[in-house]
Amino acid sequence: MDEDTFEVFKKMKEDLGISQSELMREALKLYSKHKTLFESIEDKKVYTHAEMLSAGEHVILDSDHWLLFLSFVESHPDKDKFWDLHREVCQAHVEQFKHKFYRAEYILKRLETCNFFKLRKTSKSDFTLVLGSDVPKKIVKTELEEIFAGMGYQVDIKEDLANLRVKVLHDL
């Protein structure tokens, strides 16, 4: 073990008042019992949430408020101005993503972390975005079109009632 890990190990052993062997057995049992928790951490969702929130660029918003906001936008007389501004925000996202050489699937997973949709991978290049409602479809589709076009990716996006189907034709 490296020195930092050994210090954690030693402190846990002392705090719990158990032997080294017992601590190792308990750690392995815990990992085995909660393997999916560790896999989700490895999947980076928790890390991505923390990264996005700590940077102060994202907020947690109740789904009903989100749908209310989008419904209001669609009924507003200046809705075209909103969509133009939305495209500008999407271009800012392109600039953030472009220099990191993210693949299309990673971008979809990152946006899934924002809870815009639930991502289902149906094949190597085909994805279904389950929106749960048709209300956010336009904002999500516009976001994807702008980001993928700005990064030079070729995608085909088809609309269903409360889903978007994305076929990645070309990315990195």
* 105 close to 84: Cβ distance less than 8 angstroms: no
pTM for this model (two decimals): 0.71
- Say whether both 11 and 86 belong to one domain: no
* 67 close to 136: Cβ distance less than 8 angstroms: yes
Q: Give a yes or no: residue 53 inside a domain.
A: no
Domain total of the chain: 2
- Say whether both 150 and 108 belong to one domain: yes
- Say whether both 29 and 81 belong to one domain: no
pLDDT of residue 143: 96
Q: What percent of the chain has pLDDT over 90?
A: 52
Q: Give a yes or no: residue 125 inside a domain.
A: yes
Pairing of β 118-121 and β 163-170 = unpaired
Distance CA 62, CA 55 (A): 20
Q: What is the domain extent for residue 97?
A: 60-170
Q: Give a yes or no: residue 80 inside a domain.
A: yes
- Say whether both 12 and 84 belong to one domain: no
Each residue's pLDDT tens digit, 105-121 = 999 998 998 888 999 99
Q: Give a yes or no: residue 154 inside a domain.
A: yes
CATH number of the domain to which 79 belongs? 3.30.1380.20
Distance CA 156, CA 52 (A): 28
